[in-house]
Structure 1
Amino acid sequence: MNRKEFRDLASPEDAREAIESLSLEAGIERVSLEDARGRVLVARLDAELDVPGFDRASLDGYALRARDTFGADEADPARLEVVGAVHAGEEPAVSLEDGQVVEISTGAVMPDGADAMVPVERTDRVDGSSNDRASEGPANTDAGGETEGADSGGDDVLIRTSVAPGDNVMFAGADVAAGERALGPGTRITPRDIGLLSALGIDEVPVRANPRVGIVSTGDELVRPGEGVHSERGEIYDVNSYTIAAGVEDAGGEAVLYPHAGDDQDEMERVLRTAADECDLVVSSGSTSASAVDVIYRVIEEQGELLLHGVSIKPGKPMLIGRLDDSAYVGLPGYPVSAMMIFRTFVAPAIRRAAGIPEPTSATVTGRLARQERYEEGRHRLMPVGVVTSGPSERARNGGGESADAEGSDEILVYPVDKGSGATTSLAHADGVVEVGPETDYLEEGEPVTVSLFSPDVRPPTLFGVGEDDPTFSRVLDRLENPRYLSVGTRPGLRRLREGVPDVAVAAGPLSRDLDAVELGHWEREWGLIVRTGNPEAIEGVSELVDRDLRFVNRTTDAGLRSSLDAAVDTLAADRGSTRHEIADSIDGFDLGLRAHESPARKVIAGDADAGLGLGETADRLELGFVPLGEQTVRVLANPDRTDKTGVRELEERLEDVSTGGK
């Protein structure tokens, strides 16, 4: 099979035009009021009745003729005869004449002859045979909003205020009049619109049909979450299907997941054709690059129309755009970061247009780049970044009229979080994107950049930390609001702290040099060798790894645990009159360093190793054996310029519990 080469890459503008040329509209459908929220109307809806359909009282009180109250006040009330009562939901049985009132409940129909009402608080009920005010004072209302004595006849009421015609009355059609325009085409229906439609008696509305988007992930290595994954065969969980489906729903489409298509062209064609028959748009991920086994572009070329293959953008160069039967087609790269960046930039806007949903309100922030960034590939770049606020400004710290806690006085720092297109956490730990033009190959530290946030709801973390992965610190983070922590290891964490990017760094083991940092707290953790339950190999220490044929799994040199092990190896070398290099070479697997603190233990569980470097707490949690080699100090170090930051102060308070034995 010949390898397809990328020659002339299309520009991002060409890719947008190609997608805009595709028809994604799904037509019109009628939906019930229960399913109407968020949908987009395709036709104007006019009121077919008045709302309300009758003149109704706005308050509890008395309906009357306004002219009977003219001149009335507290000192000289008008005395009128009570001739009945009207409650909400019933038809009035009386008509008013001069000098008469009807007791009325909120929302009740105004009786004939009445043109206003007086609230009960401005009245006094009196006996009809008396010329004096009743001693009981104003009439009271019960828990249901109805007035006491509503059906008692023979009473008068003293009106202690004057009203004008129409006072305290909502006339028929005052809310919506029959024939009035209620909602127009293009309206995205909200809960308050549903309230209006309900008031008009409308139970079904014509809306744009949400475009159906078929999602096909390709690759023999993919496994659905929830199923068993065999890492030894290179299997990985399918990330793209679920993240793309969520993006489709968020953009207003209807996501339809299809079975994985393997790397066989016939199988791929069958799945894609099924999706094309049932959907308005088919989105695949994977099998779009120039690799000899990536054949999806051949399916589109042979069975449909390929409009574009390859875009001058990073990440996402191997993007496909075309048609398959009567359906639009977009092929995304297989790596999760590439797939989601391309989906967000090109595909989501097309789905929103087809669904009639406007682009979300753009949210951007401007900040300084935390470190220099080089890029020399000559392509438009979509760079995932995180944002972090610095400590309060100098003006705030010096009492310049701003609160020292005011986040608004903080400076925003922007740092790249791209771990590569295959790392799913690049987007999980990012707040937005910085776009870099193809002509730019160098961004200077401190250079102003504009971040397009993933949503207007994005807020910088209250605390940004980096460094060692430690179970105790993870529990501390659980007690903070909106922290962000990147487990990069002790050495990279300290390096980033020196660069001034994070608020804090967590370091384990001995520190090789003095740091310009403030220690917020520390604790001890037990480290050693994690072995199988019961320690069947009877491993006693590092010397066993040197002298016996045992398989060992180490941590990377960035990890704090590695520094303690290296010190133990140095001690053993000195005791034996040997060199550190000779001792390390004698340990099978010493150079195999894994990044995550539990990974060596997982290798022991899988039977791939006899021992792994780890923590006693990890061994206990996984019910494994443990050979202790010592204790290691874990320190939380703060950027000295951020000690006044609210999140840092809260962290310091939580760390006090750790130092006193709390969890």
Structure 2
Amino acid sequence: MSERKEFRDLSTVEEAHAAIESLDLDPGVEKVDLDTADGRVLAERIDAGLDVPGFDRSALDGYALHARETFGAGETDPTTFTVVGTVEAGERPATDLGAGEAVEIATGAVMPPDADAMVAVERTDRVARSATECANSAERSSADHSSGQSPREDGETVSKDGDTLLVRTAVTPGENVMAAGADIAAGERALGPGTRLTSREIGLLSALGVDEVSVRAKPRVGIVSTGDELVRPGETVDSGRGQIYDVNSYAVAAGVREAGGEPVVYPHAGDDMAEMERALREAADECDLVLSSGSTSASAVDVVYRVIEEQGDLLLHGVSIKPGKPMLVGQFNESAYIGLPGYPVSALSIFRTFVAPAIRRAAGRAAPPSATVAGRMAVRERHEEGRHRLVPVGLVTDGNGDTLVYPVDKGSGATTSLVEADGIVEMPADVSYLDRDERVSVALFSPDVRPPTVFGVGEDDPLLSRLLDRLDRPRYLGHGSRVGRRRLRDDVSDVAVVSTADEVESGTELGGWTREWGLVVPAGNPAGIDGLADLVERDLRFVNRSTASGLRTSLANALAVLADERGVDRHDLVDAIDGFDFAVESHESPARRVVAGDADAGIGLRATAEKLDCGFVPVGEERVRVLANASRTEKPGVERLRAELDDIGDLVGALPGFGTVDDR
């Protein structure tokens, strides 16, 4: 009888994990078409290349008009307009609005160029012109068949252009309008590296016009089952000879696919050492990882370990775990190698415990938790009773590791609501609210969803986007400094990113940077704009940021200084700026409107102006601060963010107008 080989000293579970983590399973990067990208993992950040929607669109059925002309309108004292046209979804507006005019508009239709708001049809009354007026109008303009009032054969009339519209409510600029880029704006960070693409992310990419993406290649995993006794399913098994069906090849291949790898099943090898070596070499030449099952024990006929020991590098032989003690880890022909036990239960136990996590890491896949998770509400969520509601929610862990649940809702038309959510909380029709700290059950969108390592809310910033790329599974909502402060005060987020000239009012400052802001103008500055005074004194179209943005606050402060210098009220200057109140979302949005020729100037950053080849008129400098929730400074994700903030010199150097705090 051949000499038996005893197991080496059994390795601990921790040592086995360390040995497998030392293997190089990196499959590299490949480009795939969007229609085949489901389940793949992004290899790089994707920024929006266009605004979604790409135009200012109506949020309701109703009438587009000038908001200022509705001032004072009410149920008992309506304001009167003349209907001068109609815009359906998918049509280009063909009518310019004059004073006292309105255009009928459908949900999702393009807003007329001069209209800055729309009123819902329910808050209006439309009075048709008389048949006589219509006939006279037809005689005056017989060539125009698209407007006016037409008499019917029964003597009644149908509504046409020229009708009188009674508006029974006042609206403000931007009301009932989804501005271009309100869902996601050009230049905004859409998805980050490491994002697994599901139907939600693919929907967002489709909305952005992306047709192919760079993804982590799937690690190719060769599977070689060993043993003379094995027979493939479909063949005839001779139980008298001790033959059994090959279970491991198919079960392990399914596990590889579930973990994000690409299994390659090879014909099983016998117990002959030369045949086993040939099979392993073939698999090693073609795959990133080779898995064998069987022939890993200390028996003389179990010779895989001898092949690896003689032809490769055997790192581990035997683990102190049950089931699954006979396990191998090594390198063979520059390919990673793991030997699984022969018994199916042992093989799958070792695979799930050690191998699947390694494949997931190589594929960029997250470990799958339960498909349902319990947590407590981070904030109070109200809901009008009467309809069953599915609330999109995100997950975050607090300083104690407990799961918090917060609502995610940017509106029913916003694709990004789904991308920012992790699952759904159901609110029955008779429930009007979920209270803060109330326990809820979250149905996850997929079993592999996990809370982000760090969750931030606040200012939209190009340096921050690059900084987030250096973190593992961050989540950041660029809703502006004002929202960032509120989320931090409410104990929802881990961090807030705010731009302010004031000292820190809450939270623990982790670090920050400075950025130069001003007016982005067309290349060459054809209008010769020198500063804010030109916006006040000249007939220039300006594009502003939303009220939650730190840039808008900086602009308001600068206008206050200008007002003091002139001895006038700041509101007088604001009222003199054409476009001050109609705001857009992302830090690049105003500049892109300037590039498109829709504005003479927009608030923005020097870095944005240079990126888009625009001119720039400097106005001031902002301090951007990263503030941490005081109770979560020891979270690993927050600590990692703090470490990265200590080393942002290269990021600052790559962005014009940016500086470190020490540079001030």
Q: Normalising by structure 2, what TM-score?
A: 0.51
Instruction: Report if the CA contact (8 A) 2:64-2:117 is conserved.
Output: yes
Which residue of 298, 308, 322 corresponds with 2:306? Answer: 298
| CA–CA separation in structure 1 for the residues paired with 2:201 and 2:319 | 42
Instruction: Report if the CA contact (8 A) 1:84-1:150 is conserved.
Output: no
Instruction: Report if the CA contact (8 A) 1:188-1:357 is conserved.
Output: yes
Q: CA deviation at 1:353?
A: 1.2
| CA–CA separation in structure 1 for the residues paired with 2:244 and 2:267 | 15
Aligned equivalent of 1:635:
none
Structure 2 counterparts to residues 172-183 of structure 1, below 5 A: 172-183=180-191
| CA–CA separation in structure 2 for the residues paired with 1:225 and 1:263 | 20
Is 1:212 the counterpart of 2:220? The answer is yes
Give the SS at the match of 1:173. coil
Which residue of 316, 336, 355 corresponds with 2:324? Answer: 316
| CA–CA separation in structure 1 for the residues paired with 2:200 and 2:270 | 47
Give the SS at the match of 1:314. coil
AA in 2 matched with 1:179? G
AA in 1 matched with 2:31? R
Aligned equivalent of 1:83:
84
Aligned equivalent of 1:268:
276
Which residue of 197, 208, 211 corresponds with 1:189? Answer: 197
Q: CA deviation at 1:358?
A: 2.2
The range that moved more, 333-342 or 245-254, is 245-254
AA in 1 matched with 2:64? A
Aligned equivalent of 2:5:
4
Note closer, same or farther for the CA distance 1:106–1:48 as it changes in structure 2 (3 Å cut).
Answer: same
| CA–CA separation in structure 1 for the residues paired with 2:7 and 2:117 | 80
AA in 1 matched with 2:60? L
Which residue of 205, 210, 225 corresponds with 1:202? Answer: 210
Note closer, same or farther for the CA distance 1:191–1:362 as it changes in structure 2 (3 Å cut).
Answer: closer
Aligned equivalent of 1:227:
235
Aligned equivalent of 1:155:
163
| CA–CA separation in structure 2 for the residues paired with 1:226 and 1:174 | 57
AA in 2 matched with 1:217? S
Q: CA deviation at 1:173?
A: 1.4
Aligned equivalent of 2:288:
280
Structure 2 counterparts to residues 103-502 of structure 1, below 5 A: 103-129=104-130, 152-361=160-369
Instruction: Report if the CA contact (8 A) 1:69-1:78 is conserved.
Output: yes
Q: CA deviation at 1:235?
A: 1.4
AA in 2 matched with 1:172? A
| CA–CA separation in structure 2 for the residues paired with 1:326 and 1:261 | 21
AA in 1 matched with 2:52? V
What whole-Å deviation, never above 9, does each CA across 1:168-192 have from its counterpart, x for those lacking one?
Answer: 1011111122111111112222222
Q: CA deviation at 1:30?
A: 1.0
What whole-Å deviation, never above 9, does each CA across 1:292-338 have from its counterpart, x for those lacking one?
Answer: 21111111122211111122222112111111112100000100111
What whole-Å deviation, never above 9, does each CA across 1:584-615 have from its counterpart, x for those lacking one?
Answer: xxxxxxxxxxxxxxxxxxxxxxxxxxxxxxxx
Q: CA deviation at 1:228?
A: 2.1
Is 1:24 the counterpart of 2:43? The answer is no
Q: CA deviation at 1:150?
A: 10
Q: CA deviation at 1:6?
A: 1.6
AA in 2 matched with 1:197? L
Aligned equivalent of 1:54:
55
Note closer, same or farther for the CA distance 1:329–1:151 as it changes in structure 2 (3 Å cut).
Answer: farther
Note closer, same or farther for the CA distance 1:342–1:363 as it changes in structure 2 (3 Å cut).
Answer: farther
Moved over 6 A (4+): 362-365
| CA–CA separation in structure 2 for the residues paired with 1:311 and 1:170 | 60
Is 1:100 the counterpart of 2:108? The answer is no
Instruction: Report if the CA contact (8 A) 1:81-1:128 is conserved.
Output: no
Instruction: Report if the CA contact (8 A) 2:128-2:160 is conserved.
Output: no
AA in 1 matched with 2:125? D
Instruction: Report if the CA contact (8 A) 1:45-1:182 is conserved.
Output: yes
Instruction: Report if the CA contact (8 A) 2:41-2:195 is conserved.
Output: yes
Q: CA deviation at 1:151?
A: 8.4
Note closer, same or farther for the CA distance 1:15–1:363 as it changes in structure 2 (3 Å cut).
Answer: farther
Aligned equivalent of 1:38:
39
Gaps of 5+ in 2: 133-156, 374-445, 449-664
Q: CA deviation at 1:167?
A: 0.8
Give the SS at the match of 1:338. helix
| CA–CA separation in structure 2 for the residues paired with 1:325 and 1:172 | 55
The range that moved more, 279-288 or 252-261, is 252-261
Note closer, same or farther for the CA distance 1:210–1:150 as it changes in structure 2 (3 Å cut).
Answer: farther
- Greater relative contact order (Cα < 8 A, sep 6+): 2
Instruction: Report if the CA contact (8 A) 2:50-2:185 is conserved.
Output: yes
Percent identity, please.
Answer: 73
Q: CA deviation at 1:152?
A: 2.5
Give the SS at the match of 2:329. strand
Larger Rg: 1
| CA–CA separation in structure 1 for the residues paired with 2:44 and 2:63 | 43
Give the SS at the match of 1:5. coil
| CA–CA separation in structure 1 for the residues paired with 2:85 and 2:285 | 69
What whole-Å deviation, never above 9, does each CA across 1:190-232 have from its counterpart, x for those lacking one?
Answer: 2221111111111111111111111111111112222222212
Q: CA deviation at 1:114?
A: 0.7
What whole-Å deviation, never above 9, does each CA across 1:117-175 have from its counterpart, x for those lacking one?
Answer: 111222222123499xxxxxxxxxxxxxxxxx998323222222221111110111111
Q: CA deviation at 1:7?
A: 4.0
Instruction: Report if the CA contact (8 A) 1:84-1:151 is conserved.
Output: no
AA in 1 matched with 2:78? P
Q: CA deviation at 1:45?
A: 0.9
AA in 1 matched with 2:297? S
Instruction: Report if the CA contact (8 A) 2:43-2:194 is conserved.
Output: yes
Note closer, same or farther for the CA distance 1:44–1:218 as it changes in structure 2 (3 Å cut).
Answer: same
| CA–CA separation in structure 1 for the residues paired with 2:347 and 2:158 | 70
| CA–CA separation in structure 2 for the residues paired with 1:234 and 1:130 | 98
Give the SS at the match of 1:186. coil
Structure 2 counterparts to residues 67-78 of structure 1, below 5 A: 67-78=68-79
Note closer, same or farther for the CA distance 1:156–1:182 as it changes in structure 2 (3 Å cut).
Answer: same
| CA–CA separation in structure 2 for the residues paired with 1:9 and 1:183 | 44
Q: CA RMSD in A?
A: 2.5
| CA–CA separation in structure 2 for the residues paired with 1:182 and 1:20 | 31
What whole-Å deviation, never above 9, does each CA across 1:46-84 have from its counterpart, x for those lacking one?
Answer: 111111111110111111111222222222222211111
> How many correspondences in the alignment?
352
AA in 1 matched with 2:18? E
Q: CA deviation at 1:339?
A: 0.6
Instruction: Report if the CA contact (8 A) 1:103-1:150 is conserved.
Output: no
| CA–CA separation in structure 2 for the residues paired with 1:129 and 1:68 | 25
AA in 2 matched with 1:106? T
What whole-Å deviation, never above 9, does each CA across 1:600-658 have from its counterpart, x for those lacking one?
Answer: xxxxxxxxxxxxxxxxxxxxxxxxxxxxxxxxxxxxxxxxxxxxxxxxxxxxxxxxxxx
| CA–CA separation in structure 2 for the residues paired with 1:197 and 1:191 | 10
Aligned equivalent of 1:533:
none
